[in-house]
Amino acid sequence: MCGIFACHNHPDVEKFKPTALKLAKLVRHRGPDWILCHERLSIVGVDSGAQPLVSDDEDIILAVNGEIYNHRLLRKGLKKPYPFKTHSDCEVIIPLYKEHGLDTPKYLDGMFSWVLYDKKLNRAIAARDPIGITTFYIGWSSKEPGTVYFASELKCLHTVCDKIQSFPPGHVFDSATGQITRYFEPTWWDGSRIPQKPADLKLLRETLEKSVRKRLMAEVPYGVLLSGGLDSSLVASIAQRETLRLKKLAEEQAATVNGNDDEGLVGIGEDNKLRTKTLMPELNSFSIGLPGAPDNEAALEVAKFLGTKHHIITFTIEDGLNALSDVIYHLETYDVTTIRASTPMYLLSRKIKSMGIKMVLSGEGSDEIFGGYLYFHGAPSKEAFHEECVRRVKNLHLADCLRANKSTSAWGLEARVPFLDKEFLEVALNIDPQEKLIQGERIEKYILRKAFDTSDEPDAQPYLPDSILWRQKEQFSDGVGYGWIDALKDAAEKHVTDEMMRNPKPEWGDDIPDTKEAYWYRLMFDEHFPPHCASTVKRWIPKWSKQTDPSGRAISIHKAKYADA
C-alpha cells in the first residue's frame, strides 16, 4: 500500500506547502519506501517506481495507491508507443489517460486510488477502484471554495477540510466539472434485478483460482492470512498450489538453462524472471488468536494439510485492550464489528511486517458475495437474500475493505483480496440466489464449498480437509477467541456509565450508540477526530434478526452461541 495526500487549486500554494508536507507525513506508515506528498510501499517496480510518476513530456503528474494487475497487457495494447521510465505497474495510467481521458479507470484491473494532474489543462482527475479496496477520501473547505483535497486516510484532511466524504468506489472525479461520476457498471449493480443463472461450479472455481494467481504479482516476499475459516483457507490453498507450480517450473527451467544452478529460477517477476531466488520461498501463512483460539487450531490444521510455513501469533486480552485507541486512530471508524476484528489483524500485521513480509493475501468479500454471515439464515426470500448481498458488497469500503486495508497499512503491509476481483464478482453475483439460500442440508456458502469439493473427482488432490471445507462460519472477531468480545464488553462497562448512555453528546445528533461498547468506541474516535469526520462512518447492523450485537455468536444457530441468545 501507499499513502496519498493531494490538493488541487489551492489559492496560495507556497504558503500551504509546509502544511501539505506535515499532512502527508500522517500517512507515512502506509508506505515507508518514499515520500513526496505520496508515501510509497514498493511491491512491483521496487527499484524504479518512485512516485509521483511524471510523463515523458512532464505535463502529467500521477500519485497512485494500489496495484494494477493487468499493466503488462495495457502496455501492449496502447495505440501509441510510450517511453516508460519505470517497471512500476502504475505508470501505465499516464499513457492510458492520454488515450482515454476520464474513461481511464474502466481499463484498470486491480485495487487503486489515484490523483492525476494535467498541467496543460490545469485539470485534476481522481479515481478509486470498483469496490473500494484501497481507502480514499475527498474533502473541501468553505474557506477555499475552489479547492479540493484528496487523501488515503481521513487524518490528513480533517484539519484543513470542514466537509469530507469517503470517495465513492467505482467513481472518477474531474476538476473541470467538479463532478464525481460512476465508471464501474457491472451487470449485478442493480440489486433488485434477480439473476437466474444456475451455478457453474467449475467456472466459479477456475475464476477464483485465476484471481489468486493474478494477485501473486510481486517482487517482494509475500504470505497469506489464514484464519482457518473457509475463505482464507481456500485462498491459501490456491496460493500454495500456484507457489509450488511456479517453483517446480523454475527448477525445471533452471536445470535446463543453468545445469541445475538454481540462481536461474524463472517465475513471478518482470518478464517472468525472478531477480533473486529469495522470491520463491515456501509460502508463509499467519494466524492470530488468544491462547486456545478456534481459528489458530483450525489454521494449523490447514497449514499442515497444505504444507505452508505457518506462524501462530498469540495475543493477550491486555494486548488487545491496550491497542484499541491506536486501532481506532488508524481505522478512522467507530463501528463495533470493524473494531473488534481489526484489533487482532492490526497486532498480526505488525508481526508479519517485522518478519520482512510486505504483501499478504486475505479472504475478505466472500461472506458478502455468498451470504455467508449467519444472519443470512433469516432471509425471507431469495430476492431479499440477493439484495442484501449486493448491498453488502457495495458497502465493503466502509467495513471489511477498510479493516483489511488500514489494519495492514498501519505497519506498511499490503493486503490483497482475491474474492473482490471484477471477473469473479461478475460470475458469483450473477448466480441465481436460490442456490445460495441456507436451507436443508445447504449450509452457508454451500456453492463455494461445493465448487472446491473434489470428493467425486478421481485422483484429484483435495483443496482442503473436509473438516475445514464444511466448517461453520466463524466471524474473525469470534474465532480469535470467544473471550475477546466478552472482554471488550466488560471493559466498556467500566468506562461508560448508565448516566452517560442516557445523555449522549449533542454533537452526535441521531447517530447514538446503542450499547456501552459502541459508546466507548465513539468516545475514543472523538479523541482523534472532530465531529464532521463522523460523516465517513457507517455502523453495521445485521438484518432479519432481533439481535443488537453483530457477533455471529448472537445468532441462535451458532454452535457456541451466547447463553442468552
Following DSSP, what letter does each residue of 184-249 receive, concatenated?
A: ---TT--TTS---BPP-HHHHHHHHHHHHHHTT--SS-EEEE--SSHHHHHHHHHHHHHHHHHHHH
Torsion over CA of 335, 336, 337 and 338, rounded to 10 degrees?
40
Regions of the chain short of the pLDDT cut 50: 33-49, 262-279, 563-565
List the binding residues for L-glutamine.
89
What integer pLDDT is reported at residue 68 of this predicted model? 96
List the binding residues.
89, 225, 288, 362-363
Superfamily name with CATH number, domain 208-508: HUPs (3.40.50.620)
- In the chain, the percentage of residues whose pLDDT exceeds 70 is 88
Helices 482-495 and 336-354, interaxial angle, to 10°?
120
For 395-424, give one letter per residue: b (16+ CB within 10 A) or e. Answer: bbbbbbbbbbbbbbbbbbbbbbbbbbbbeb
Residue 454 φ then ψ, to 5°: -100, 15
Joined together, the cell numbers standing for residue 495 give 468506562
Residue type at position 474: E
Q: Are 101 and 107 in contact (CB under 8 A)?
A: no
Those residues with Cβ within 8 angstroms of residue 277's Cβ, 6 or more apart along the chain or in another chain = 262, 263, 265
Rounded Cα gap, residues 545 and 549, in angstroms: 10
Helix-strand-coil split of the chain, %, nearest 5: 45, 15, 40
CATH class in words for 3-182: alpha beta
What integer pLDDT is reported at residue 559 of this predicted model? 61
Q: Start-end ranges of CATH 3.40.50.620 in the chain? A: 208-508
Catalytic sites, residue numbers: 2
DSSP-assigned letter for residue 461 = P
User: Could you tell me the sign of the dihedral formed by the alpha carbons of 25, 129, 417, 76, in that order?
Assistant: negative
pLDDT tens profile 330-368: 999 999 999 999 999 999 999 999 999 999 999 999 999
What integer pLDDT is reported at residue 465 of this predicted model? 97
Rounded Cα gap, residues 410 and 59, in angstroms: 33
- The 8 Å CB, 24+ separation contacts for 511-514 are 511/539, 513/334, 514/548
What integer pLDDT is reported at residue 286 of this predicted model? 98
Q: Start-end ranges of CATH 3.60.20.10 in the chain? A: 3-182
